[in-house]
Amino acid sequence: MNVRTRSALAGSLVTALALPLAACGGGSGKGAGDTVEVVYNRSTDNNNRVMDDYLAKVKKGYEKANPGKKVKLVPIQAPQGDYYSKVQLMLRSPRTAPDLVYEDTFLINSDIKSGYLRPLDDYLSGWKSWSHFIGTAKAAAKAQDGKTYGVPDGTDTRGLWYNKKLLRQAGLPVPWRPKNWADILDAARTVRKKLPGVIPMHIYTGKGPGEASSMQGFEMLLYGTGDGTGLYDAGKKKWVTGSKGFKDSLTFLDTLFEEKLGPPKEDALDPNVSTTVATQWLPEGKLAIDLDGSWMGNNWIESGAKPWPKWSEVLGQAPMPTQNGQAPGRVSLSGGWTWAIPAKAGNPGQAFDFIKALQTKDNAVDYNVRSANIAVRDDVASDPAYLKSMPGIDFFTGLVGVTKYRPALPEYPQISTAVQEAMESVTTGQADPAKAQKTYDDAVRNATDGAVTSG
């Protein structure tokens, strides 16, 4: 729910290459014959086995229904930035390319442009279940050439999680529903004053957390500023520089860390901070307010990374408000992951057969329940098991009506990296918001060959 392009990833490629060879199938390459090799990102938290358990279950059912067919599961246990780097290296060669790969929607267009992925339209045209996928989810895996390169397995929305007990102790109202950014900062100041030792608010920031910083940190601010174009002006087909909304978003971040309303900076910039938030700060009552995703409850169920039976009683949810409370009053960003078939896959037909097994209606319900994902299929979204699967599912599903999506363009990963660098420079105090924005603007001009417009 947490990136770099190939050109910007040189540093993390070293880390990726240092991962154990066993993590990529021992260098044996793709599946062959009647075996399909499936690569996916395993959580860095050893207790979080949601995806492992789900894939193992589907593999067992698939192999039983298809005698002689085999599925080889290849987990890569690494922070997301290193996972992306490792996968991109694997996709370059027929010797190492898997048959099926788990792709973050933010990166899929970059990989399409690089020729790493195979269009799926011929497979999808004969698959009846494809009609159940909602349009926005389909669009996330569609390239500029109009072809579809991935099958989504869920989406997500974002909002504010808060500890009801801590807010009450600080004298704040519960239920808590801030109307604007000022309300959030005031609540954080109150917590800092009344509850020493408690982190008032967490927001993802900097290069360490990667895409989590860009998407559920910065963009949750930017798209609430009233700057209608956000990062990219679709009408002009240009990236936006110099916008007031961008600077205001950095100013919010600057205020949070300058006033010590956030975590210690070294913790905020830690690549594994999402695990810390989910398994320590929230369940141990060390954090009052967290700007995070709909999937968080998945950490606290019985099979999650940190079982926490009381979490739904302790935590509440509130929409992230717009900057000044202007319409529509709420902000959310949505993303998600897709199953994609590499261009150099040796067994693409069987890979798509396994996608269909992953996305039977029953399996899709099971995965969304396990992972606390928001459904991308209409038949799953109306399923009783899904609707009662997780406390707060109605709240986060209700944000779909106002949610925004990242620009689905090949340049986005580079833009995202520039956002993270701007955030980090402000968080650490190395630059004020104006200077950080100028550095960002210069990076955007370079990344897009000057295809920019003033905000």
CATH number, domain of 151, equals 3.40.190.10
Neighbours of 265 (CB within 10 A): 16
Q: Do the domain assignments include residue 4?
A: no
Reported as a single tens digit per residue, the pLDDT across 335-382 is 889 999 999 999 999 999 999 999 999 999 999 988 888 989 999 989
**33 and 175 together in one domain:** no
In the predicted model, what is the mean pLDDT of residues 415-429? 98
**252 and 400 together in one domain:** no
**419 and 375 together in one domain:** no
Neighbours of 66 (CB within 10 A): 15
Calculate the alpha carbon distances from 1 to 80, 98, 147, 165, 200 in Å. Answer: 9, 23, 25, 26, 22
**32 and 123 together in one domain:** yes
312 or 47: whose pLDDT is higher?
A: 312
Q: Do the domain assignments include residue 418?
A: yes
Q: Which is nearest to 44 in space by CA: 215, 337, 272?
A: 272
8 or 359: whose pLDDT is higher?
A: 359
**106 and 223 together in one domain:** no
**99 and 138 together in one domain:** yes
Reported as a single tens digit per residue, the pLDDT across 366-375 is 999 888 889 8
Residue 29 confidence (pLDDT) above 70? no
In the predicted model, what is the mean pLDDT of residues 225-231? 87
Confidence of residue 32 (pLDDT cuts 50, 70, 90): low
Q: Which domain holds residue 296?
A: 158-333+411-454
Confidence of residue 78 (pLDDT cuts 50, 70, 90): confident
Q: Do the domain assignments include residue 2?
A: no
pLDDT at 169: 98
Reported as a single tens digit per residue, the pLDDT across 91-115 is 999 999 999 999 998 788 889 989 9
How many domains does the chain fold into?
Answer: 2
Q: Long-range CB contacts (< 8 A, 24+ apart) of 358-363?
A: 358/58, 358/153, 359/129, 359/151, 359/153, 360/129, 361/129, 361/132, 363/58
Mode of pairing for the β-strands spanning 158-163 and 238-241: unpaired
Token pair, residue 415, equals: 């833009």
Residue with tokens 């690089």: 114
**107 and 165 together in one domain:** no
d(CA 248, CA 455) in angstroms, rounded, equals: 13
The mean predicted confidence, pLDDT, of the chain is 90
d(CA 101, CA 111) in angstroms, rounded, equals: 12
Residue 15 confidence (pLDDT) above 80? no
Q: Do the domain assignments include residue 447?
A: yes
Q: Do the domain assignments include residue 5?
A: no
Which of 387, 405, 423 is the last residue in one of the domains? 405
pLDDT at 33: 77
**110 and 89 together in one domain:** yes
Contacts of 214 (CB under 8 A, 6+ apart): 3, 406, 416, 419, 420
